[in-house]
Amino acid sequence: MEIEIEEFKNYLMFERRYSPHTVKAYCIDLEEYADYCQKNYQVNSLGEVEQKKIRQWLMTLRMEGLNVVSINRKISAIRSFYKWMLRNDMILRSPALGLRNLKKPRKLPEFVPADKMEQMLDGNLFDGSNFGERDKLIIELFYDTGIRETELINIKCRDLDPARLTLNIKGKGGKTRMVPISEQLCKRLLSMITEPDNYLFRTPKGAKMYPKLVYRIVHKYLEQTNAVSQNSPHTLRHSFATAMLNNGAPLEAIKELLGHANLSATQIYTHTSYEKLNKIYKQAHPRA
């Protein structure tokens, strides 16, 4: 098996011209794999190994706590190795055929807890100037509706409907949706209204807002809450969705409000709520 790995190493280096780092990593992975197969199955060649034995090795690594990224690299090394063996007529069929990478766990979205948001919006962070009022409205609109950064930038004065207390939002792919707003927020947004074709939020020179400016505004205030590491408009979108879910809103309704194409994109917020429930359970139940 050592000779097989050495020949494969030369193939990667001189024919495929892989980087030294990749070659070294693949060879270490294959040596670990070969060692496992030799100890557990007493094989003389890696070409003798069946796929179920490869899967058993991968399962052992997972149970030992190896992360998904490292395991997927080992799978890549094994697939490449058996492809090389097949091309050189060393095996009739690759045991790695159909072997798929493990799915990476989705990173849970960061969000600002509702109490922190209330403290920020009810506090003295925003001054009484026109810019202070504009900044507060931007923060509130993100948190109260869950709209995206580009959606906020593209809101025009005509998109506000005071009679229905809604905003007409142009989302991804040109799709539009009606987003409800509170009466109080609507009244304050009305103070921003100029000509129907004008953008609702504008720069000091009257031009359309741009992403970097919106990001700077949100970052300026969110970082003062010390609640999250990502102080971005998207964090406020996550905060909106999490607050809605924690207060009993159906997942389907949150999907529509966020403008998600399918429910799977919205379901990530259930993990955040389950974490909260789990924490409450452990704190409250005597046997938790």
Known active-site residue 172: yes
Which tokens is 94 given? 């690759």
Specify burial of residue 35 (Cβ count, 10 A radius: 0-12, 13-18, 19+).
exposed
Q: Which entry of 55, 93, 172, 279 is annotated as an active-site residue?
A: 172
Known active-site residue 79: no
Q: Which entry of 53, 177, 219, 234 is annotated as an active-site residue?
A: 234
How many Å apart are CA 132 and CA 86, to the nearest integer?
A: 67
Q: Which entry of 73, 170, 202, 260 is annotated as an active-site residue?
A: 260
Check: CB of residue 233 under 8 Å from CB of residue 142.
Answer: yes
How many Å apart are CA 152 and CA 200, to the nearest integer?
A: 9
Known active-site residue 219: no
- Nearest residue to 221 via CA among 134, 130, 109: 134
Q: Which entry of 74, 136, 237, 255 is annotated as an active-site residue?
A: 237
Known active-site residue 238: no
Known active-site residue 237: yes
Known active-site residue 116: no
Q: Which entry of 136, 148, 238, 255 is annotated as an active-site residue?
A: 148
What are the Cα distances from residue 93, in Å, to 22, 101, 287? Answer: 25, 20, 54
Catalytic residues: 148, 172, 234, 237, 260, 269
